[in-house]
Amino acid sequence: GQYDPMLADAECLKVLTEILTSLDIGNYILKVNHRCLLDGLFEACGVPADKFRSICSSVDKLDKSPWQEVRTEMINEKGISAAAADEIGQYVRLSGGVELADKLVSDAKLSKIKSAIEGLEGIKLLLRYTDLYGLKEKVVFDLSLARGL
């Protein structure tokens, strides 16, 4: 069938919250991001396209490692410039809701990159759906999320 963009994603998040809530595991947050946004972010920061996935794997470590370690890995092991790593760092440490996505749509660098705008529009739509499902307190847009995207 044909569905509105991001609707199935929002429905999956709704089902997941129902399951997690029924398991009574305590407080939890579901983090979301968009592959197109990450690709656009890397492009905007000057990362060569052939290094996107490699840098993505570094960014993914932010949930367990401090920014300085991830930055060092991107520069010394993955081979991007310190300037590019620093620009990436300004973004991947951000998290929030629709307000953050709205702010990033008008960001001087990201607004020039088609894939970044596509990803941000997708995230905004997803967050609007999750708000309609009553999940505003459970779903967070996190730019450091890179695993599985």
Task: Please give the model's pTM, rounded to 2 decimal places.
Answer: 0.92
- Residue 131: the pLDDT is 97
Dump pLDDT digits (tens) for 2-45: 778 899 999 999 999 999 999 999 999 999 999 999 999 999 99
pLDDT at 2: 76
The answer to whether the beta carbons of residues 33 and 142 sit under 8 Å apart is yes
Element (H, E) at 32: strand 30-32
Query: What is the spatial distance between Cα 35 and Cα 58, in angstroms, rounded to a whole number?
Result: 15
Domain boundaries, the chain: 7-15+32-142
Least Cα distance to 54 among 36, 34, 31, 79 occurs for 79
Please write the tens of the pLDDT for every residue from 104-118: 999 999 999 999 999
The predicted pLDDT at position 96 comes to: 97
Q: Is the pLDDT of residue 148 over 70?
A: no
Nearest to 128, CA basis, from 48, 10, 2? 10
In one-letter notation, the amino acid at residue 10 is A
CA distance 94 to 101: 10
In contact, 96 and 141? CB cutoff 8 Å: yes
pLDDT tens per residue, range 51-97 = 999 999 999 999 999 999 999 999 999 999 999 999 999 999 999 99
Report the 10 Å Cβ neighbour count for 38.
27
In this prediction, residue 34 carries a pLDDT of 96
pLDDT of residue 3: 76
In CATH, what class is 7-15+32-142?
alpha beta
